[in-house]
Amino acid sequence: MKTILFAAGLFLLAWNCTSALAVDGAAILQQVDRKMQPESYEMYRKLINVEPDGKSKEFVLYTVKKGQEKMVALFLSPASENGRATLRLNENMWLYIPNVGKPIRITSLQSVVGGVFNNADILRLDFSVEYSVQQASEEGDHYVLVLKAKNATVAYDGLKMMVDKATLLPKTIECFAASGMLIKTLRYDKVKDFGGGIVSPSVLETDSPLYKGYKSVMITAKIEQKEFADEVFTLNYLPKVDELR
Amino acid sequence: MSFASQRFCPCWAALLVLLLLGVLPVSRTARAEEAFSLDMEEFEKKSWKLGGFAEIKGEHMDVRQGSAFSLLNLGEAPPSVLDQLTGSLQLNGSYAKGIAQLNWLLNTSGGQDTFGWKDSAEIYETYLNLTPSPGTAASFGKKSYKWGKGYAWNPVGFINRSKDPNNPEEALEGFITSDFEMIRSFSGDLRNIALTAALLPVRQGVNEDFGAEDNLNLAAKLYLLYLDTDIDFIVYSGNSRTTRFGADFSRNLTTNFEIHGEAAYVPEAERVILDEEGQPVRRSDSAASYLAGIRHLTEYDLTSIIEYYYNGLGFTEEELDRFYQRVAVGAEQRTLTGNDALLRQMQQLAAQGYARPNPGRHYLYARFSLKEPFDILYFTPALTTIFNLEDQSFSTTPELTYTGITNWELQLRFSLLNGGRASEFGEKQNSNKLELRVRSFF
C-alpha cells in the first residue's frame, strides 16, 4: 500500500512539475489582451510628455476600437491639435489634420504627439494580433513571454512581457528592434476597475534609452465596451469622429 | 509710423510684440500632481465647439528690381525692399443637434506693408452637414475640397482651390456646393468604398471665380481601399470648365516608405497664351498632367517628401519666355512714353495663369524635415525646394518650427529664389524672403 501511495505521490509531483514547465504562452497572451481591453470600446486618455527639465505637454484623446484591427483616435486637447484624427486599419495608418483637409498615410514608427510614444503605442491593437509567442516561462510571481512580430510591418520586432500571474495583466514590456537593441520600456501601473467588468492598468509610463531623461505617460480615465459601425473606420468619416461621443 | 524704412524688420517686431505681451517666457512647468489625472467633465461633449488661432507674421523681402513681376506689381520704381507685418485671426466652430451639424471657418487679417494698410475678411467655409448614418452623409453650403494625394500639387483636384506649394497645409476658401457621400465597408481585399458627388453652381455672386457663369457642374470621386492601397477615380463635368477625368493612389510599401501618384486628363483644355507676335490667343488642346511622389522616414526621424509634377495645363518655357519679354517691352514703353497699356494687358494675362505660383510644366519638389534633433522635443527643422526642371530655376526654403509651448507655434523661414533672366524664379517679384510667424491656438 505504501508503495502505491509513494508511486501516486511521485506521479502527482511529476504532473505538477510538467504543468508548470509547459506554460501555454499563447493562451496567456490572449487572456492578457482580453483583460487589457475589450474587443470593441470607446476610451478617453491623456498623454503627457515630460522633458528632463520637468516641462510637460499634454494631449487628450478620444479613442474607439472595433474588432481586432480597426481603431481611430481623435485629439480633444490641446487646442492646437483639436480635431486631428488618426485611423488604423490593420497595418494601414492615416492622419487627418483639419486645415490640411485630407488624410495622409503615416507609419507606426512615427509619432503624432512627439516624445517617447509612437503611433503604434497610441493605436495599439491586441498583442496577439501582431505578435506570436516565441518563449514562455515563469519567474516568481510573473510569467515571462518573449514575443516576436508576425511580420515586418509591426513597429517592434520583439517584446519581452512580464505578466502578473495573479491578475494576468502586464507589468512591464521591453520593446526591441530587429537588431536586438532595446527601444523602450513600457511600465503598467495603477490597476483600476473601469466598470463593466473591465479591470486593467490605468497608467502606462514609458522611457527610452534613445530619449535619455525624457518620459511619456498615458492615463486611461474611461473605457467602456461599445459597438460601432464599420463605416466609422474609413477616411471619409475622419472629420466626423467627434460625432461618436 | 513709416514701414518704408529699411531698418524696420517686421520679423523682429513680431517677436518684440510677443515678448512685450509676456507670452514667450511663460513656461509650462510640469505639475506632476495635476498631470496624472484627467478631468472627464472638462471633455464632455458639448453642442457648441469654438476654436481657431491668432497669428502675427513679419516678412522682410528683397525685391528683384527689373524682374517681370516686380515691374507688374510694384509700379515704375519698385523699392529695393518690402516689409510687411500682418495679424490674422482664424475662427472655426460647429453647432450640432441630432444628425445635423453646422460648421464654419472664418479668416480675417490686417497688415501694414511698405505701401500702406491692407485688410480682408473671408468666409472660408459655412456648411450644414447631415449624417443620418455613419455610411451616409450630405452637406450644403460653402465647403473646401482637398482631393488628390499629392503634397505640393493636385492635378486631380478639379474642384479644389489652388494651393500654394510653399504652404500646402494652410486652410483654403471653399466653393458653395451640395454634396452627397456614401460609404460601405467590407472584409476581404476590397475593404472600403466611398462615393462623393458634389454639385457646384456658378452664377452671378455664386462661385464666380470657378469658371463660366450660369452653369451647374458635377464632380464625383469614387474611393476604394483595395489591397491596402488608397485609390480614387475622379470626374468633373459641367460647362464652367471643360470635362476632366482623373485617378490617384497612395500605398505604404513598407512601414516607412509610401508612394503616391495622380493622373489627370482634360480632353479640351483651354489656355490663353501669347503667340509668336506676342498677341494673346486662346488655345484648346487635350492635356494630361501627372504627379508621382514618395514619402520616406528614416530611423532617425528624417521625413523626405519628393514629388515630380508634369503640368499639361502649364506654360512651356517658350510661352513663359514670351510673357517675360512682353512685360519688359511694356515696362520700357511706360518709361519712355508713359503709356502702360501693354503692361495692363500683361497684368490681365498674369491673372489668367502666368502669375500662378508654379505656371510651368516640369517640376521637382523636395521637402526634408527632421523631427526633434538633438533630443529637442517639438522642434522641427526642414528644408523645402521647388525646382523648375525646364529653366533650371528654383526656390530653397530652410525653416525652423517649434511647438513646445502648449498651443503656440513659432516658425522662422527664409526663402531664396534663384534663376537667370526669363526663368520662373528669376522673374518673381522677390529674390528672397525672411518670415517669422507666431501662432496662438485657442
Q: What is the pLDDT of residues B3-60, one digit of tens each?
A: 334 444 554 555 555 444 444 433 343 444 445 678 888 888 889 999 999 999 999 9
**Pairing state between β B244-254 and B81-97:** unpaired
Considering only CB atoms, A79 lies closest to which of B30, B51, B129, namely: B51
Is it the case that residue A79 has pLDDT exceeding 80? Answer: yes
Q: What is the ipTM of this complex?
A: 0.85
Listed residue (B133, B46, B140) closest to B94, CA to CA: B46
Does the CB of A211 have a partner CB in chain B at under 8 Å? yes
For A5-32, b/e burial (b = at least 16 CB within 10 A) is eeeeeeeeeeeeeeeeeebebeebbbeb
Percentage of chain A modeled with pLDDT above 90: 62
> What band does A19 get if pLDDT is binned at 50, 70 and 90?
very low
Listed residue (B246, B235, B143) closest to B197, CA to CA: B235
> What band does A4 get if pLDDT is binned at 50, 70 and 90?
low
Does the CB of B129 have a partner CB in chain A at under 8 Å? yes
Let me know: does B154 contact B160? Beta carbons within 8 Å.
Answer: yes
> What band does A55 get if pLDDT is binned at 50, 70 and 90?
confident
C-alpha pair distances (Å), B373 with each of A210, B22, B382, B400: 12, 28, 11, 11
Rounded mean pLDDT, A225-243: 94
Please name the fold of domain A24-244.
outer membrane lipoprotein receptor (LolB), chain A (2.50.20)
Domain boundaries, chain A: 24-244
C-alpha A54, offset from chain centre: 26
Could B183 and A214 be called an inter-chain contact, meaning their C-beta atoms sit closer than 8 Å?
A: no
Q: ω into residue A78 within 30 of 0, thus cis?
A: yes
CB-neighbour burial class of residue A146 (10 A; exposed 0-12, middle 13-18, buried 19+):
middle
Rounded mean pLDDT, B175-195: 96
> What band does B167 get if pLDDT is binned at 50, 70 and 90?
confident
Q: Secondary structure of B250-295 in the HEC alphabet?
A: EEEEECCEEEEEEEEEEEEEEEEEECCCCCEEEEEEEEEEEEEEEE
**Pairing state between β B394-402 and B379-388:** antiparallel
* Apex A209 CA angle, A161 and B300, nearest 5: 110
> What band does B215 get if pLDDT is binned at 50, 70 and 90?
very high
User: Would you state the torsion angle of the CA atoms of residues B111, B113, B116, B121, taken in this order, to the nearest 10 degrees?
Assistant: -30
Kind and range of the H or E run holding B412: strand B408-418
Does the CB of A201 have a partner CB in chain B at under 8 Å? no
Considering only CB atoms, A56 lies closest to which of B35, B45, B301, namely: B35
A210 or B329, which is more confident: B329
Could A76 and B185 be called an inter-chain contact, meaning their C-beta atoms sit closer than 8 Å?
A: no
Rounded mean pLDDT, A45-57: 88
> What band does A10 get if pLDDT is binned at 50, 70 and 90?
very low
Q: 3-state class of A152 per DSSP?
A: coil
Q: What is the pLDDT of residue A234?
A: 96
Considering only CB atoms, A99 lies closest to which of B169, B371, B372, namely: B169
Interface list for B 188-247 with A (CB within 8 A): 191-192, 194, 196, 223, 225, 228, 230
Per-residue pLDDT tens over the stretch B285-327: 999 999 999 999 887 889 999 999 999 999 999 999 999 999 9
Q: What is the pLDDT of residue A2?
A: 54
Query: CA-nearest residue of chain B to A115?
Result: B377
Q: What is the pLDDT of residue B3?
A: 36
Q: What is the pLDDT of residue A22?
A: 65
Q: Looking at residue B43, what DSSP letter applies?
A: G
- Residues from chain B contacting residue A90 (CB–CB below 8 Å): 228
Let me know: does B175 contact B158? Beta carbons within 8 Å.
Answer: no
Is it the case that residue A15 has pLDDT exceeding 80? Answer: no
- Taking the CA atoms of B21, B27, B31 and B36 in sequence, report the sign of the dihedral they define: positive
Cell of B339: 503709356
Q: To the nearest whole angstrom, how far is the Cα of B85 from the nearest Cα of chain A?
A: 23
